[in-house]
Amino acid sequence: MQDSQIPTELTEFKPEVGLILGSGLGFFADDRIEVAGRIPYGEMDGFPVSTVPGHVGQFVYGHLDGKRVICMQGRFHYYEGYTMQQLTMPIRLMAKVGVHTLFVTNAAGGINRSYTPGDFMLLSDHINFLGTNPLIGAHSGEGVRFPDMTAVYDADLRSIIRTWAATKGIELKEGVYLATTGPSFETPAEIRAFAHLGADAVGMSTVPEAIVARQLGLRVIGISCITNAAAGISQSLLTHEEVSETADRVRPQFAELLASSVALA
């Protein structure tokens, strides 16, 4: 993204922390942030727009517990037909305007049989099952060409968040997230295979954003809301409505977890 394409108000605001709000989780921007401004994606030249229900499609920026934050209230997905470069444009924008820590949230299906809908999982690692990588192509000169992925999700900050959750009596899972392209949900056979690979949860996002954030030197924290049991574990058909309903049910707990995590960053 060219500097000339970045809205002046974001450059002047200088956000410190970036937030990507996943399916059913966009309420956080309205409920918890002292909003300074909103910028619909459609008003930005060359920027993608959200096409999935539950993704409003705008940047919201303001203050949260003394931190200057910028939120994606609605993300982009590979299955919407966007290129990897398009769907990670917001991360490059955030880095350019001063963000140093990125919180990526998502709705995910639970593969680990100890997980139940409504649980939260800190990402300790991920498996890229998208069949591609957002860094493929000519190097733009931003960040390193071959970024190390040994520790994508910041271990020190995860430890601080786990300690906070324990003091509040919040059960916080920690595990490996596997990303597929979607938009179809996974088959039971695929879920069994993913379990053998070491995945605890599965979704259709997060990994491209995390890769680019690490390339650019941002600290990354990933938080999954386990909105359903994955295929073959669940006894019912999987629907996007179930995802949204579970996210809405745990709304207060999610808001407290994310707000407190940002304050600790």
CATH classification code of 3-264: 3.40.50.1580
Per annotation, catalytic residue among 29, 41, 77, 106: 77
> Is position 241 annotated as part of the catalytic site?
no
Question: Which segments in the chain show pLDDT lower than 50?
Answer: none
Does the annotation count 80 as an active-site position?
A: yes
Is 133 in the active site? no
Cβ proximity of 220 and 86 under 8 Å: no
Active site (annotated) includes residue 204: yes
The predicted pLDDT at position 23 comes to: 74
Report pLDDT for 54: 62
CA angle (225 as vertex; 222, 226 as ends), nearest 5: 125
Q: What is the pLDDT of residues 182-202, one digit of tens each?
A: 999 999 999 999 999 999 999
How do the domains of the chain map onto residue ranges?
A: 3-264
Specify whether 63 is catalytic.
no
Selecting among 1, 29, 89, 204, the annotated active-site residue is 204
Active site residue 112: no
Active site residue 79: yes
Q: Which residue is catalytic, options 9, 16, 79, 255?
A: 79
Please indicate whether residue 107 is annotated as part of the active site.
yes
User: Is position 240 annotated as part of the catalytic site?
Assistant: yes
* pLDDT value at residue 53: 67
pLDDT of the residue at 3: 63
Q: Which of 106, 112, 224, 228 is catalytic?
A: 228
Q: Rounded to an integer, what distance in angstroms lies between the CA atom of residue 55 and that of residue 72?
A: 9
Q: Which of 1, 78, 80, 224 is catalytic?
A: 80
Token pair, residue 139, equals 């190097």
Q: Which of 240, 245, 256, 260 is catalytic?
A: 240
Per-residue model confidence (pLDDT) at position 234: 73
Check if 171 is active-site: no
From the candidates 205, 210, 261, 265, which is the catalytic residue?
205
pTM of the prediction? 0.93
